[in-house]
Amino acid sequence: MPVLAAPDGAPVSVARALCASIAAQPDLARRQLEADRLLASEGAGHIVHDLPIRADGRSVSLESRPWRLDPIPFVVDGAEFSELTDRVIARMATLEAVLDDLYGERSLLARRIVDPHRLWSSQRYRVAAIGHRLGPRWLTSYAVDVVRSASGEWFVVKDFTDAPAGLGYTMLGRSVIGRVQREAIAHRPPGSSVRSISTFTDHVRDALADIAGTDSPRIVVLSGGVEHRSFVGQSYVATELGLNLADGADLVVRKRRLWLRSLGGLEPVDVLYRRLEDDRLDPMEVNTEGSRGIPGVLLAARSGGVRLANAHGCGVLQDPRLANMWDEAGEWVDARRPRTAGEQIPDVAPLRRLDTEERGAFVPDVVPGFDGTAVLDRPVVMRLQVVAGDRGVEVMQGGSARVLALGDDPGVPTSATAKDVWVVGGTVAPPRLVRRRPLPQVDLLTSVPTRAAEALYWSGRAMERAAFITRSLDVVLDRTSGVVDAPTAEPWVGTSIDMVATIAGTDMNTTTGTDERPAVLAVGDTLFALARQLGSLLAEVSSVREYFSTTAGRVFARLANSRATLKDIVEAGVERDVRGDPAGIDVDVLDAVLIDLASLEGLWSESIVRGPAWRFGEIGRRVERIFGVIDAVRGAFMGQHGSAWPFDHEDDPQLADYDRRRLVELILAVNESLVAYRRRHRSDVELSLAAHLVVADERNPRAAAAALRTIEHESGQLGWDDGARLARDGLATLSRGDYTDIEGIGDVLSELWGVCDRIARLVVSTHLITPVDPRPMGWRST
């Protein structure tokens, strides 16, 4: 192992040398930006916070968890890491034995090694788990936070035994820093390369299959829902493992078995890789918090109808009020535990936990980190990921670390900066072959949780509506140069604002007449409505992130930024008491939204596999497009409440005609059909021709008719005959329609609206019945 020398002649480890060379990079600021951008594109930064309302009115409240990745990794020498790894493996085995005793024989209690009074006072000690172990082990996955003292000794800060978080974030961190520090990884001298973490997911998958007790088990990742603080990590893990990500409401217990509600009906689940804490798992159990869980899942587990990883009850070791008991308990069980031949538990000095009281006086080691402007030495806490299977225990050869701010308790890091952990050099154990148990070829195309289909459906609708709102406002502001409120404005301008309001769905706020509701207010409301639609879109796509590519992730991140800008504009307007003063609107933000939505439409069509979930999303998009066309035409020509053409000024037919033409142009532009019109008709724009083009002309891909044709096709693909039939009915209505005057067009639109509304209601009620979270039955009161 090459040993370098510091100026004073002392040897410098490979790890410190590598770290120092990265810390000396002149372009760390640029790398930081790159890391920020890559992280944001995975939704790990800010995309999953502050999203207001789902499209169907259910609220989503998300914690704000922005975090950054330091472009300088935390580097550990291989030899040091291997020794630490052995001690971590031993600790996991010890904790396993402690759990086995706490819920089984309970000698630790009988002998008062563990204070029974304190244990029983913890709600994390799960009564329902008392009895015997279900499955081969309590802990399939384990994570531990460790910290290195200034003298180089490692201590445990926290054990994670319940649903250890951080695996997804660790893989995410490596994929980001792997790109940001590409050349530092590539140009390593022989024998000191950065160890790969890529095989760890194979070990996880293997270990999950090991607990099933059946051949080719079906495994599902149970998330805590999009509101859960580690949802992004959970969804990343599911994608990396190639497993379905399900929410509590996607799963159901029947006949003492666990099933996934999928579009194809109920599918059995053999192993539940739960990312939800064990005191939230089954609302049927005593002392269960919240109601995100699966009623009866513990009955199923007790009956062998599903295996849980980790087993129910493991969370007790994480109760902070009990945490100082486990080291002693561990010593006791270790002393009693027979060492079986061939056991892979290394015989090493046990890792010791740093007690809360000791932390104040603890002097941690420091490593260089980039704080955005300068390189500073800071302590870090490293989290290691471990998985146990039938053939042994595997520690990820890397991890992630949290940077500690000055004076931080290592157990409670306050800084939101993470570091990728690199292990370099040392003797690498020959890679243990991953057996790759055969997992059933679950067709992730058809095996789709109903919730995913639903989320894509509402994503499609929100995406299309957002595009309509943006285009309409953009076009109107463009053609009026932002002057929508001047007393000299031409009559069509006020109507154009009505059209925008109709499309944005804010027309109900309106009182008649611009006197009472200045157009600028309507613009402000529209911006607010747009921010809301983008919020819905982002909330929905975040919950089905696994369907979208990384590129799409970048678009989401940009849309999230635009949404924040829109909200700023609206709020600034409120302060000045003139919401969204059009003269002050940065039209660039609308342009950015338009372009990003267009990119998303492209990615939607080109980068998502055409499974049933996508088809429901397509139906959602087309349904919303039809509604958008109807709103545009009605908003411009029928007033907000379907009243007749507003400009029949008989005394000045020319003005009326002029206004009429401007509005027809607007409709075409809003529907992106102006070019199509000009290529087809030589004449000045005329209402009847334009209406036919945007409503009934199937050759125009933006027409309602084309949308109906798509709905017919996708319904057919899904085997949804009613949908296809309704779409055909709609098409027949359109071809029969009379487009020569406003009354005829109004009739066609009414019928079209009826058909589209039936399709929208039916698709939701027959296919996308939202699984609802359970609510408690009333408590008796005497």
Partner 1 sequence: MNSDRRRYRVVHRTDYHYGATMIDGYSVAHLLPRGTPSQVVHASRVASEPHGDEVDESTDAFGNHVLQLGIHQPHERLAVVAECEVDVRSQELPRRATSWERVAAHISGLRGALVADVLPFTASSRFVAVDEHRKLLADLAYLAFLPNRPIAEACAALSTLIFERFVFDPSFTEVSTPLDEVIASGRGVCQDFAHLAVGAARSLGLAARYVSGYIETDPPPGEPKVVGADASHAWCSVWIPDHGWLDIDPTNGIIAPDRHVTVGWGRDYADVAPVRGVVIGPSSTQELTVSVDVARV
* Chain positions contacting partner 1, by CB under 8 A: 106, 109-112, 116-121, 123, 127-128, 130-131, 252-256, 283-284, 286-287, 291, 295-296, 299, 302-303, 771-782
Q: Which of 691, 702, 706, 696 shows the shortest CA–CA distance to 745?
A: 691
Closest approach, Cβ 448 to partner 1, in A, equals: 21
Closest approach, Cβ 761 to partner 1, in A, equals: 17
Closest approach, Cβ 304 to partner 1, in A, equals: 13
On whether the CB atoms of residues 456 and 616 are closer than 8 A, the answer is: yes
On whether the CB atoms of residues 604 and 544 are closer than 8 A, the answer is: no
Burial, 680: exposed, middle or buried (Cβ in 10 Å; 0-12, 13-18, 19+)? Answer: middle
Residue with tokens 């939800």, as numbered in its chain:
276
Q: Would you say 1 or 769 has its CB closer to partner 1?
A: 769
Closest approach, Cβ 772 to partner 1, in A, equals: 5
Measured distance CA(757)–CA(531) in Å, rounded: 24
Q: Would you say 107 or 356 has its CB closer to partner 1?
A: 107
Closest approach, Cβ 504 to partner 1, in A, equals: 29
Q: Would you say 173 or 771 has its CB closer to partner 1?
A: 771
Q: Would you say 135 or 283 has its CB closer to partner 1?
A: 283
Q: Would you say 92 or 297 has its CB closer to partner 1?
A: 297
Closest approach, Cβ 254 to partner 1, in A, equals: 7
Q: Would you say 298 or 500 has its CB closer to partner 1?
A: 298
Residues 6+ apart with CB under 8 A from 489: 480, 483
Residues 6+ apart with CB under 8 A from 370: 23, 28, 32, 70, 71, 72, 376
Closest approach, Cβ 608 to partner 1, in A, equals: 30
Closest approach, Cβ 253 to partner 1, in A, equals: 8
Residue 52 has a CB neighbour count (10 Å cut-off) of: 16
Closest approach, Cβ 313 to partner 1, in A, equals: 11
Helix runs in 652-703, H state only: 653-670, 674-680, 687-691
Closest approach, Cβ 290 to partner 1, in A, equals: 11
Measured distance CA(302)–CA(299) in Å, rounded: 5
Strand ordering across the sheet containing 219-222? 244-246, 219-222, 271-274, 307-309
Closest approach, Cβ 280 to partner 1, in A, equals: 13
Closest approach, Cβ 405 to partner 1, in A, equals: 32
Closest approach, Cβ 296 to partner 1, in A, equals: 6
Q: Would you say 102 or 593 has its CB closer to partner 1?
A: 102
Q: Would you say 1 or 130 has its CB closer to partner 1?
A: 130
Q: Which of 546, 451, 542 shows the shortest CA–CA distance to 261?
A: 451
Q: Would you say 103 or 547 has its CB closer to partner 1?
A: 103
Q: Which two tokens stand for residue 291?
A: 């109601």
Measured distance CA(467)–CA(35) in Å, rounded: 30
Beta strands in 561-657 (DSSP E): none
Q: Would you say 115 or 568 has its CB closer to partner 1?
A: 115
Q: How far apart are the first and last CA of the chain?
A: 75
Q: Would you say 135 or 248 has its CB closer to partner 1?
A: 248
Measured distance CA(25)–CA(374) in Å, rounded: 11
Closest approach, Cβ 776 to partner 1, in A, equals: 6
Closest approach, Cβ 293 to partner 1, in A, equals: 9
Measured distance CA(201)–CA(197) in Å, rounded: 8
Buried b (16+ CB within 10 A) or exposed e, 211-237: bbeeeebbbbbbbbbbbbebbbbbbbb
Measured distance CA(208)–CA(437) in Å, rounded: 10
On whether the CB atoms of residues 366 and 408 are closer than 8 A, the answer is: no
Q: Would you say 7 or 265 has its CB closer to partner 1?
A: 265
Q: Would you say 193 or 770 has its CB closer to partner 1?
A: 770
Q: Would you say 285 or 581 has its CB closer to partner 1?
A: 285
Closest approach, Cβ 193 to partner 1, in A, equals: 52
Residues 6+ apart with CB under 8 A from 419: 69, 70, 72, 73, 74, 173, 369, 380, 400, 401, 402, 403
Q: Would you say 65 or 133 has its CB closer to partner 1?
A: 133
CB under 8 A, 24+ apart: contacts of 513-521: 514/485, 518/485, 518/578, 519/484, 519/485, 519/493, 519/494, 519/582, 520/484, 520/485, 520/578, 520/579, 520/580, 520/581, 520/582, 521/578, 521/579, 521/580
Measured distance CA(685)–CA(659) in Å, rounded: 11
Measured distance CA(651)–CA(674) in Å, rounded: 30
On whether the CB atoms of residues 353 and 155 are closer than 8 A, the answer is: yes
Measured distance CA(744)–CA(549) in Å, rounded: 45
Helix runs in 337-396, H state only: none
Q: Would you say 299 or 348 has its CB closer to partner 1?
A: 299
Residue with tokens 């472009």, as numbered in its chain:
71
Measured distance CA(87)–CA(100) in Å, rounded: 20
On whether the CB atoms of residues 685 and 665 are closer than 8 A, the answer is: yes
* Cα→Cα distances 733→313, 325, 667, 737, Å: 61, 75, 21, 6
Closest approach, Cβ 657 to partner 1, in A, equals: 53
- Name the helix (H) or strand (E) containing 368: strand 367-370
Handedness of CA 449, 458, 56, 237 (dihedral sign): positive
Q: Would you say 298 or 388 has its CB closer to partner 1?
A: 298
Closest approach, Cβ 295 to partner 1, in A, equals: 4
Q: Would you say 611 or 771 has its CB closer to partner 1?
A: 771
